[in-house]
Amino acid sequence: MTESILVVEDEVKIARLLQIELECEGYRVDIAGSGHEGLESYQNRQPDLILLDVMLPGFSGIELLRRIRLNDAHTPVLMLTAKGSVEDKVSGLDLGANDYITKPFQIEELLARVRAALRLASARTAAETVTDQWLKAEDLQLNETTREVIRAGRRIDLTPREFDLLVYLLKNKRQVLNREQIMTAVWGYDYYGDTNVVDVYIRYVRKKIDQGGQNELIHTVRGIGYVLKESQ
């Protein structure tokens, strides 16, 4: 998918130069010539990166950055500042700018900084995606991507089948599940073994995750099956 860049710059020649160079690099580019246009374009386009001039008509790039950062801490913003304008650089960085480029700039340096900022943002997004895949119950944590299982800071080793069983229980937390449901979800529709295998594996998982005296998480519901729930 083509990455998009919003250039907020009121000097037409500079804006056009940036557009040409960035489009030659394969980016999709939108141009805004004022603070108000920049805010509207940001809200409508949701760009992957913003090149933002400090001195703008309407309201300044610093004010635009402040408004963007009220609800968006992630989109990379590279400030374009006048040579020697230390105050603008400090203000921009304090408000959450990712980098700054001093005018006049070398286009090769600007493109390198754009690439670096986009790589960093992509890596951060990937890391957050992994983090978001943690399933939790009290002090038990399971990550489907990394296949880590942790309880109270202690790493737990599970077999593939035990892991799949625990995933299913966590995804259906607080729901009472009968043995047939568990068997179908974990062993598959084409498994023809005895449902007692569920009891055996529940026992295996319980022993591993409850080791050390923590609260019991997997509970037996007599005559029906099992439920994973917190004590509170």
Q: Report whether CATH 3.40.50.2300 matches the domain 4-129.
A: yes
CATH of 134-228, one of 3.10.400.10, 1.25.40.10, 1.10.10.10, 2.30.130.10: 1.10.10.10
- Based on DSSP, count helices (H) and strands (E) in the chain, helices before strands: 8, 12
In angstroms, the CA 88 to CA 82 distance is: 8
> What are the tens digits of pLDDT across the range 84-140?
667 777 887 888 899 989 888 999 999 999 999 999 888 877 766 665 678 999 889
What percentage of the chain has pLDDT greater than the value 70? Answer: 92
For residue 170, give both structure tokens: 């966590």
For residue 182, give both structure tokens: 């568990």
Residues of the chain with CATH 1.10.10.10: 134-228
Q: State which amino acid sits at residue 147.
A: R
CA 202, 207, 209, 210 dihedral sign is positive
Residues of the chain with CATH 3.40.50.2300: 4-129
